[in-house]
Structure 1
Amino acid sequence: MADKKITSYPKDKINILFLENISDVAVKYFNAAGYVNVRKLNGALSEEELIKAVKDVHLIGIRSKTQMTAKVIDAAEKLQAIGCFCIGTNQVDLKAATKHGIAVYNAPYSNTRSVAELVIGAAIILIRKIIDKNIAAHKGIWMKDATGSYELRGKTLGIIGYGNIGSQLSVLAEALGMKVIFYDTETKLPLGNASDCNSLKELLNKSDVVSLHVPDLPSTRNLINKTNLKYFKKGAILINYARGEVVDLDALAKYLKDGSLGGAAIDVFPWEPEKNGDTFTSPLQGLSNVLLTPHIGGSTQEAQHNIGDDVSAKLFNYLEKGISSGSLTVPALSLPPLEGTHRILHIHNNVPGVLSEINTQLSKHKINILGQYLKTNDAIGYVVLDVDKGLSKNAVELLKKVKATIKVRVLY
């Protein structure tokens, strides 16, 4: 639970905006810490709407639909941090956020179990031909038939992308008696008896079930295309619970229709509706060997609770303690409080001489630095200063005048 520590900036002046029906865990977290101006909206906002909404916002929480573009970030004059209540951050212009000294957080681990479990479930449904039998039963047709139905035990699962989700899926699949192989562009330590493949082609040639767990990058777009689909085993199953741009759906539809593939489960799409109830179209619709779900891989009560708790804690720690651990933009600093001081945060462009100038200016005005921390990345530097209480106001004004300054904030 959040610490109720009193900060220099009055809590009733802090504006927090949560979009896309983020878990109430996040709202309760900040309310319990004394923040009263917490606004929650169910849907995403357009760029134009966001530009108006973020003008006086200090913290914003989003999921995958809200696009924090450079224009939106430029308009967010008071914004301190962006919380992505999901795994990915491709909906945020990280370069623009870094330029403005805005911390960006996400939850890379909180829904891994939910996705991994659903992949197993989808694989069972497809390999047992459950979709056809379910439809028939609802129509009053009895289809008790073992033809084309198989067990997962003994089959080979090929995992493309052996990260947080892929590695956990590996453990679950092996517990079910599957042989697990994986392919990743980086060297990864196998878990259990899993083994890595030297190439994507090798993995596709050997796998009965292929599951994708890669980010949306130029190198992964249309990774599964008409060329790579030729390498799949006859009757293999493809599962994509990663990113919609990774699979060429038109090519996939062709291979499913002619029987080259045994089935597919797709949860993410190149284009997705903005909100529930909107029309959705896909070239895979109407195929009985395809399981389509509306981007729900991580949508369980447990996952949403964990994500809400995880990202809220990161936002809170940055707002009240200056802790930037886990940020994808502001350099990571984790520091203990220092009694009897005022703490000031200084974010600046990473150019030579900034720290020297900070120390020279404060020394020149006889401001004693009781504690100092610095961390940089390629673009910006983050300095935390603990100074004498009686001189902190003067110190802030001096720090604002330092060349290359992006943002200065009194923490307490």
Structure 2
Amino acid sequence: MGCVLKALLLENLHPDATKILASRGIEVVTRTGALDEDELVDTLDGVHILGIRSKTHVTQRVLEAGKDLLTLGAFCIGTNQIDLKSAAGQGVAVFNAPFSNTRSVVEIAIANIISLVRRQPVFDKDMHAGVWNKTAIGAHEIRGKTLGIIGYGNIGTQLSVLAENLGMSVIFYDISEKLALGNARRAGSLDELLSIADVVTLHVDGRPTNNGIFGAEQFAAMKPGAIFLNLARGFVVDVDALAEALKAGHIAGAAVDVFPQEPKRKGDAFTSPLQGLSNVILTPHTAGSTEEAQEAIGQFVSHKILDYLGTGSTTLSVNLPNLALATNNGAARIAYLHHNTPGVLARVNNILADHGENIEGQLLATRGELGYVVTDIGSEIEPETITALEAIEQTVRLRVLHGPQH
């Protein structure tokens, strides 16, 4: 890259992230907490790599201030805390970890389901209060119960398989067409699922249209005595409506890991209308927070960042056209991100030909308004060639990458 790259890693990322990036000569600065918008704007000068989790919000203003920023790693599943369109417009590749903590979330979902169906939070509270309340009333096995999964993606599908192995029947609802695994069946509508399921669990993504999708109407449509879980996104559920359904006894128990408003830092005060309610499990956004998951996330996202910086590969980038690229064994590779309009590729190739550059390989991918063309050249690229390419009006970002022997 011609200079020492600098990474700023926030929110107490796993040490493997630092280790992996530093092993490639990258200067790594870490901070345990999140930064607000003003702090980010003041800090990003000279930063090429930014690593965050869910608490740091990367806005258009932040991205415009980060003139040196090449790539952004979201060391988590969600990316709704990032202005992805602005990042793409600045030529900043965003990577996340869509699979790395799936198992951790699924395991805690199973644990919560069993605990709530057996009323363990109630017994636990009584015992700590010195009350011996041995009874089977209201406690059930999960075998033979119906699990309703809303959102049949990576987490929903794996949960489906594990729940079936424990003897549950599974029904799911998703707005996209999904292949049912095992004996799971697709519900024709959300109302159908809610009317059947003994346990309802949310595993939807963070798209804006999911805001407030589960409220008083949906809780009323659930079976009396059903259990409710939200380990997905805080803003998708009306927690006041959930609290009312619990107080009324219509919902027999709930496990909630995510909330509409969450404290920014560990140790900050937390309040919720769900506090103190019977047979309710509240956890501080830790469904995916196991040592195994955090290690896997730290490794996965860091390697994605290094792959992008070294080869130009954008596989699994959430905002740029996806190209899977091998290591460049030639003299140079041009990674050219541009506005997706007719004639750009022809102009690129004409400039290369006019400057005597021999193309050894070329790949193109598009994604909405962006195009990404990667060209391997058999010789060193002259500065005049780069200047001519950068002068194309559709240029978003151009990087020149060199093969390992260079």
Counterpart position of 1:100: 90
Structure-2 change in CA distance of 1:43 and 1:338 (3 Å): closer
Counterpart position of 2:290: 300
Whether contact under 8 Å (2:311, 2:328) holds in the other structure is no
Counterpart position of 2:126: 136
Long gaps (5+) in structure 2: none
Deviations 1:194-227 (A, max 9, x none): 1111011110110111000011234322222111
- Letter paired with 2:14: S
Whether contact under 8 Å (2:13, 2:298) holds in the other structure is yes
Whether contact under 8 Å (1:98, 1:379) holds in the other structure is no
Q: Distance in 1 between matches of 2:175 and 2:57?
A: 28
Deviations 1:255-307 (A, max 9, x none): 10011110111000000000011111111111022111100010001110111
| Greater shift in the superposed pair: 131-140 or 364-373 | 364-373
* Matching residue within 162, 166, 182 for 2:156: 166
* SS class of match (1:219): helix
Counterpart position of 1:405: 395
TM-score, normalised with respect to structure 1:
0.95
Whether contact under 8 Å (1:362, 1:398) holds in the other structure is no
* SS class of match (2:188): coil
| 1:353 shift after superposition | 1.3
- Letter paired with 2:185: S
Q: Distance in 2 between matches of 1:407 and 1:380?
A: 11
Structure-2 change in CA distance of 1:367 and 1:255 (3 Å): same
Deviations 1:341-392 (A, max 9, x none): 2112111111111111111122222222222222111111112122243444
User: Are residues 1:316 and 2:306 paired?
Assistant: yes
| 1:338 shift after superposition | 4.3
Whether contact under 8 Å (1:354, 1:403) holds in the other structure is no
Q: Distance in 1 between matches of 2:347 and 2:393?
A: 8
* SS class of match (1:381): strand
Counterpart position of 2:15: 24
Q: Distance in 2 between matches of 1:256 and 1:336?
A: 54
- Letter paired with 1:15: K
| Greater shift in the superposed pair: 400-409 or 258-267 | 400-409
* SS class of match (2:210): coil
Q: Distance in 2 between matches of 1:338 and 1:230?
A: 58
- Letter paired with 2:62: V
- Letter paired with 1:34: G
| 1:55 shift after superposition | 1.8
Q: In angstroms, what is the RMSD of aligned CA positions? A: 1.3
Deviations 1:145-198 (A, max 9, x none): 111111111111100011100010001111111111111111211111111110
- After TM superposition, list the pairs within 5 Å mapping 1:361-380 onto structure 2: 361-380=351-370
User: Are residues 1:121 and 2:79 paired?
Assistant: no
- After TM superposition, list the pairs within 5 Å mapping 1:157-306 onto structure 2: 157-306=147-296
User: How many aligned residue pairs are there?
Assistant: 402
Structure-2 change in CA distance of 1:178 and 1:97 (3 Å): same
Whether contact under 8 Å (2:365, 2:373) holds in the other structure is yes
Long gaps (5+) in structure 1: 1-7
* SS class of match (1:262): strand
Counterpart position of 1:149: 139
Whether contact under 8 Å (2:104, 2:293) holds in the other structure is yes
